[in-house]
Amino acid sequence: MISNESDNTSLTLSLSKVNESIRLGIPPLTRTEEKSIANELILQLPADASFSIGEQLARRRASEIISDNYAQQIPTISIHSEWFYDFLLRNPRIPIHFQTWFASIKSTMPSTDQLIDIKTWELGLITRSVVASSSVSTGSSSP
Per-residue pLDDT tens for 50-109?
999 999 999 999 999 999 998 888 899 999 989 999 999 999 999 999 999 999 999 899
d(CA 76, CA 46): 22
Decide: pTM greater than 0.75.
yes
38-41 long-range contacts (CB < 8 A, ≥24 apart) are 38/91, 38/93, 38/94, 41/94, 41/97, 41/98
**Structure confidence at residue 130 (pLDDT):** 76
d(CA 30, CA 14): 13
Q: Once rounded to an integer, what is the mean pLDDT over residues 100-122?
A: 93
